[in-house]
Amino acid sequence: MLNLYFLRSFLMWIASFFLPRKPVLDEYSITEFCWLNDIDYNLHLNNTSFCNKLEYGRTDLFLRSGLWSAMQKKKASLFIYSFTIRYRREIAPFTKFNVVSKIVGWDNDSYYLEQRLVKNGFVHAVAMAKMKLIRATTQEIFDMIGEKDIKSPELPAEVANWIEYDRVSSERLRTPAPTPAREHKKSQ
């Protein structure tokens, strides 16, 4: 299964040389299919396969927008810093659907993406991803693809709230948890 992932990613990279480049703020859509190896014991697309399909959508967006090429030239890295998915309805085996990906905003070092798994106009799942850049800023990458004057759109309310949740969660995780010994001494 792991080899299939790398093979598919490599083929997407090759295909990106032949597909038209799209503006960075456009929606990017790829067609996917729920195969038998994508299902779980409930006979629908499993959680891991949902995430794999979304990964291919992000790959398509970064390749076809030119962002990936610019990051490579800058020797920058990109990784998922935070990710949330909301499942709405199952996807049955042998179902064709689309993964729609869009950059909805950014800050100095991160891109914020919304992704949807859509079949016949119905959104089966929606995900948000914070893609963090290392060794470059978002503006440096935009400059390299000719988007020098681009400004981040105002974030949708649910994305802004999700970013705030992420910030609060990170602060909470930085606070050391009390150990049982400390708790015992406090109560004496």
- Give the N- to C-terminal CA distance of the chain in Å, as an integer: 55
> pLDDT (tens digit, 9 = 90+) per residue, 42-56?
999 999 999 999 999
Tell me what the mean pLDDT of segment 148-168 comes to: 94
Per-residue pLDDT at 2: 57
Nearest to 160 by CA among 130, 116, 140, 136: 130
pLDDT above 90 (res 167): yes
Centre a 10 Å sphere on the Cβ of residue 11 and count the other Cβ atoms it contains.
10
Residue 124 in tokens: 């089966």
User: Which tens digits make up the pLDDT trace of 98-140?
Assistant: 999 999 999 999 999 999 999 999 999 999 999 999 999 999 9
Q: How many CB atoms lie within 10 A of CB 49?
A: 19
Angle at 34 between CA 13 and CA 27, to 5 degrees: 50
Q: Of 15-19, 158-162, 175-179, which range is least confident?
A: 175-179
Q: Is residue 94 scored above 90 in pLDDT?
A: yes
* Per-residue model confidence (pLDDT) at position 44: 96
Q: What is the pLDDT of residue 187?
A: 58
User: Which pLDDT does position 6 carry in this prediction?
Assistant: 84
* pLDDT for position 125: 97
Residue 7 has pLDDT above 70, yes or no: yes
Mean pLDDT rounded to a whole number for the chain: 92
